[in-house]
Structure 1
């Protein structure tokens, strides 16, 4: 039986983050928000939240407030082309998945080291955000990493029951609309935020290896294998993107990291469905969020964590 914890007063009060702008190495201006505790403390971690593809950082505000209420400093931000980091015109705006990792996430790591000097840096990565965590040159500074449904959209890994529907939507219709509009008009369709053409190419031209995507780099140049963060990969059994094969395909890149894959079925938390996005909704503050919180604090699973651990890599 699941235990519903009482909502923390800071969450109920809707604590607001402080807006900021940060320049990436190529000069592009990124927008985001910071939740900052009073006073410096080098034993307190700062958590960076990496969003899913074309999901605004504001979607994660409640989760950021939860982490802040539990003693962390928190940074959330939008990748270039999305939300707070959207350019004046999306038509023809070129940004890729690799840009989001090597430039945008790297800028947030640099900001965390500058604004919170000496503090440990932890990361939450949702969907592609987990992949981005292994693309930045400074990813070696990450202490603890929690990913949720993290993968890079290899179509053969999609859940069998919905595979062809997802292929038609994301690998046929999305690139066709992008070619016509110069970007993917996801907001008008009610699917995602509007999305840069380069990101659409990386997603839709699916392959089993990240380095063979249109914006991919040679495997030897990718930082993944140098990341040593204690890594918890959370997946939901009803997530059509985050199948076991998809999660483990990405995890295999983090060769130097101690890795745990926790697979949760909705019935484990007395739910009918959770899917790819709902983990970060406040209704799961008492049932799913403590799993991530425990890992960020101690680098280990809490004894009462729901689900099962997929056989380990190491």
Structure 2
């Protein structure tokens, strides 16, 4: 198994984030791509399966070697497009992520998330991508056609069996938000599983909790089963969202 940091995050963080060149595209086209290539070298001949949470699901579509992925599980993965936010939370989330966050970034030269108790400290270029109110990847400041000759976005390289998991109480990962990302994965076989907390006997799960040990017996087996077989077990909680 390989886990990794995006540039500017965790152990890849330099002494100062001010002036660090990093963006959504870099996190996917450079950092995730480097992870795929390392996996291919170190585990030669073995299938590569990927699990990505939130932006991690987008990153999986940005690597030039996305064709190497056999199976992909995403959890709450979306583009942070404000119109996709859950209606009851939309304006509060818009103010937080698309007004306060970029303003703080302009003042500090990066987003001081740790100091605010709000995510990790984040490079300014990534914040620009997050906060730009566009429903399309290529309309973000760093969005770009990696394959200029073919005119295809890199997402089309992914031919994996893809399971997109969303939670009904995740204000970011609404059905429209998940489907928007899946719409870019034109070369993969996509299944969208929608789970409510009640399906697993819980009151809430939300956007961030899927990988906490409290859900090891209820949610983790869903992802594991997909990575092992490419199928959902008959007793899998939740419902499949019909694809258009």
What are the ranges of 5 or more consecutive residues in structure 1 without an aligned counterpart? 1-73
Name 1:295's counterpart in structure 2.
226
What does residue range 10-29 of structure 1 map to in structure 2 within 5 Å? none
Superposed CA deviations along residues 242-296 of structure 1, whole A, max 9, x for unmatched, are 0000000000001111110000000111111100010000010100000000000
Structure 2-normalised TM-score? 0.97
**Which one of the candidate residues 170, 174, 177 is aligned to 1:239?**
170
The answer as to 2:164 corresponding to 1:258 is: no
The answer as to 2:241 corresponding to 1:307 is: no
Superposed CA deviations along residues 188-211 of structure 1, whole A, max 9, x for unmatched, are 000111000000000001201111
Superposed CA deviations along residues 37-87 of structure 1, whole A, max 9, x for unmatched, are xxxxxxxxxxxxxxxxxxxxxxxxxxxxxxxxxxxxx11011000001101
Q: State the alpha-carbon separation in 2 of the partners of residues 98 and 81 from structure 1.
A: 14
Q: State the alpha-carbon separation in 1 of the partners of residues 204 and 19 from structure 2.
A: 38
What does residue range 55-204 of structure 1 map to in structure 2 within 5 Å? 74-204=1-131
Shift of 1:241: 0.2
Shift of 1:212: 0.6
Superposed CA deviations along residues 100-158 of structure 1, whole A, max 9, x for unmatched, are 00000000001101111111000001001001000000011100000000001000000
* Matched residue count: 240
Q: State the alpha-carbon separation in 2 of the partners of residues 269 and 228 from structure 1.
A: 30
What does residue range 28-43 of structure 1 map to in structure 2 within 5 Å? none
Superposed CA deviations along residues 142-189 of structure 1, whole A, max 9, x for unmatched, are 000000000010000000000011111010000000000000000000
What does residue range 252-291 of structure 1 map to in structure 2 within 5 Å? 252-291=183-222
CA contact (8 A) 1:127 1:149 kept: yes
Q: Describe the SS at the equivalent of 1:171.
A: helix
Q: State the alpha-carbon separation in 2 of the partners of residues 277 and 302 from structure 1.
A: 24
CA contact (8 A) 2:65 2:157 kept: no
What are the ranges of 5 or more consecutive residues in structure 2 without an aligned counterpart? none
Q: State the alpha-carbon separation in 1 of the partners of residues 42 and 23 from structure 2.
A: 27
Shift of 1:218: 3.1
Q: State the alpha-carbon separation in 1 of the partners of residues 129 and 15 from structure 2.
A: 23
Q: Describe the SS at the equivalent of 1:279.
A: coil
Q: State the alpha-carbon separation in 2 of the partners of residues 248 and 106 from structure 1.
A: 23
Q: State the alpha-carbon separation in 2 of the partners of residues 145 and 221 from structure 1.
A: 20
Q: CA RMSD in A?
A: 0.9
CA contact (8 A) 2:161 2:190 kept: yes
CA contact (8 A) 2:145 2:154 kept: no
